[in-house]
Chains A and B, each alone.
Chain A
Amino acid sequence: MLFLRQTATIALKDLRSEFRTKESLNAAISFAVVILVLFSFAVDPTADQIREISGGLLWLVFAFAGALILNRSFARELGNDCLDALVASPVPGAALFLGKASANYVLLLIVELVSLPIFGVLYNMRWTRQPLMLAAVLALATWAVTVIGTVFSALTVNLRLRELMLPTLIYPMMIPALMAAMRLTTLLIAGEGIAADDWIWVRLLIGFDVIFTSLAVTLVEVVLVG
Chain B
Amino acid sequence: MNAVAVEDLWKYYGDFPALREIQFTVSSGQCLALLGRNGAGKTTLLRILAGLSRQQRGQVRIFGRDARHPATRAAIGVLGHGIGVYDELSAIENLRLFGRLYDLPNPESAAKQWLERTGLAGVAASLVREFSRGMRQRLAVARAFLHQPSLLLLDEPFTSLDDRAVALLQSVLQEALQRGSTVIMSTHQLREAMEPATHVGLLNRGRLAFHGPRPEEMLGDPGWLYRAYGEG
Q: Which residues of A contact B (CB under 8 A)?
A: 2, 5-6, 9-10, 13, 16-17, 20-21, 79-82, 84-92, 221, 225-226
Contacts of B89 in A (CB 8 A): 13, 16-17, 20
Q: Which residues from A are CB-within-8-Å of B101?
A: 6, 9-10, 86, 89-91
Instruction: Identify the stretch in B70-78, B165-173, B198-206, B220-228 within 8 Å (CB) of chain A at 4 or more residues.
Output: B70-78
Report Cα–Cα, A82/B73, bound state, in Å.
16
12 new A-B contacts, CB < 8 A, other than A16-B89, A80-B86, are A6-B100, A10-B101, A16-B93, A21-B88, A79-B86, A80-B87, A81-B83, A84-B84, A85-B98, A88-B52, A90-B103, A91-B101
CB distance from B114 to the nearest CB of A (A): 15
| Chain B interface residue count, Cβ-Cβ cutoff 8 angstroms | 31
Residues of B within 8 A of A (CB): 50-54, 68, 70-71, 73-74, 76, 78, 80-89, 93, 97-98, 100-103, 127, 143
Residues in B whose Cβ lies below 8 Å from that of A6: 100-101, 103
The listed residue (A17, A91, A92) touching B88 by CB distance below 8 A is: A17
Give the dominant DSSP class at B's interface. loop
Give, as a whole number of angstroms, the nearest-CB distance from A188 to chain B: 38
Chain A residues with CB under 8 A of B54: 225-226
Known A-B contacts A84-B82, A221-B68, A225-B54; the reply to A89 vs B87 at CB < 8 A is no
Question: With a CB–CB cut-off of 8 A, which chain A residues contact B85?
Answer: 80, 82, 85
Given A6-B101, A20-B88, A88 contacting B83 (CB threshold 8 A): no
